[in-house]
Amino acid sequence: MSAAFHLAARYVLRHRLQSALLAGALGLVFALPLCLRVLIHHAQQELRARAADTPQIVGTRGSALDLMMTALYFKRENLTPLPFGALAELRQPRSTAAIPLHIRYQAQGAPIVGTELDYFPFRGLKLTAGKQISRLGDCVVGARLAQQRQLQPGGHVFSSPEQAFDMAGVYPLKMRVTGILTQNGTPDDDALFVDLKTAWLIEGRSHGHDDLKTDASVVLQQEEGNIVGNAAVRMFNEVTDANRASFHFHGDIAAYPISAVILLPKDTKTEALLAGQFARSKTQQLIRPRDEMAALLAQLVRLEGFAASALLLTATAALLVTALVFALSFRLRLREFQTLEDVGVSRAALISVKVLEIGMVGVVAIGVGLLLLVGASLLAPQLLRLAL
């Protein structure tokens, strides 16, 4: 057996590139179904946990999936916004807490989430540095986003315009970073949080400018106490202690938009009453993220079955091709085996050589597969974050 092992090892090492390619292909093909299962299992755990922590979400009538992805993962979907005045109606029952969310703009790819301070204890978010939002134009940053962009309290970050060449659009807002949040392994780590008024300021529903009463050069006309400025009026794109008194809102704030509202009923009875109330509404809908996520994951599991079947067929084909490669290799080496037999090597030993060569390639293939499986397990959170 030692002689057979020596001959098999010498051949594999002599043709190391061929053996490595064959082992790598086998390891990859057989690891793919397992890696797929690991990724889907991790995705199911993460998605279920985020959904289970959010009892109910209210939004306008439309796609329940879009509403859930907006409220849980800060995806900007094509949703009709709720009026801010609806928040007061949702809070009328004292047994229900309501947290508004307004998600429309981004800061160089990171979602800007307009919300209230109640959101942070609800998600278990605390500050590792700095302080909470204290005035218009302030923001706190998720842990991963702060690390990637090297943001610290006292720094600044700009909102991104919706269209790069929108000359009539809103100027990017320069926001002051007041704090960095703790990391909790959720989409909160990659987001930037502001209060609702700052979100509306980014949207252009509020603005600050030079005092028209003290600078006549920027006045276009003045009549009956109303002052109209001309194009020379300087609009502020940053809120500071010196100019924050000049920022003001136009129109009825109750009509201002919010994307969704997270409801936190105190008991199951209140939760059931709310579900019945919104079932009759023609303009608003209430969803339970746990149920919506279960339906989504059921489809995901079904797709996993199709993908696993396809990968199994691929693995079978790869196994047959590998068998063909070894068969052709042994056939091309027929004279080599005859020579070994002529010098006294038994046929049983030659069979052992062939089996050991196949076994060595198989062991390396298993090693490659295990490495890929470990890599998939370690990279699963990052891959899920990119997918979402």
> Which residue type is seen at 170?
V
- 144-181, pLDDT tens digit by residue? 999 999 999 999 999 988 665 554 455 788 999 999 99
**Cβ–Cβ < 8 Å for 378, 39:** no
| This prediction's pTM | 0.75
% of the chain with per-residue pLDDT over 90: 28
Q: What's the chain's Rg over C-alpha atoms?
A: 32
* Stretch (H or E) spanning 257: strand 257-258
**Mean pLDDT, contiguous 10-residue spans, the chain (388 residues):** 74 81 84 82 84 92 90 86 89 80 92 94 94 92 94 92 58 90 92 94 73 47 47 64 78 90 87 83 90 83 75 80 83 81 77 83 87 84 68
DSSP code per residue over 123-168 = TT--EEEE----STTEEEE-HHHHHHHT--TT-EEEPBPSSTT-TT
Single out the residue of 180, 109, 186, 97 nearest to residue 138, CA to CA: 180
Q: How far is CA 300 from the centre of its chain?
A: 17
DSSP helix/strand/coil, 220? strand
Residue 156, Cα to own-chain centre: how many angstroms?
Answer: 24
Q: How far apart are CA 129 and CA 21, in angstroms?
A: 50
Q: Which two tokens stand for residue 196?
A: 């609702």
What pLDDT does 388 receive? 61
- Domains of the chain, residue spans: 2-47+297-387, 56-208+247-287
Residue 284, CA distances (Å) to 71, 89, 200, 220, 295 in order: 15, 12, 22, 44, 21
Measured between alpha carbons, how far is 58 from 261 in angstroms, rounded to an integer? 5
What whole-number distance in Å separates Cα of residue 118 and Cα of residue 264? 11
pLDDT digits (tens, 9 = 90+) for 192-213: 999 999 999 888 887 665 454 5
Q: 367: helix, coil or strand?
A: helix
Q: If we measure between CA atoms, which residue out of 248, 215, 245, 246 comes closest to residue 232?
A: 215
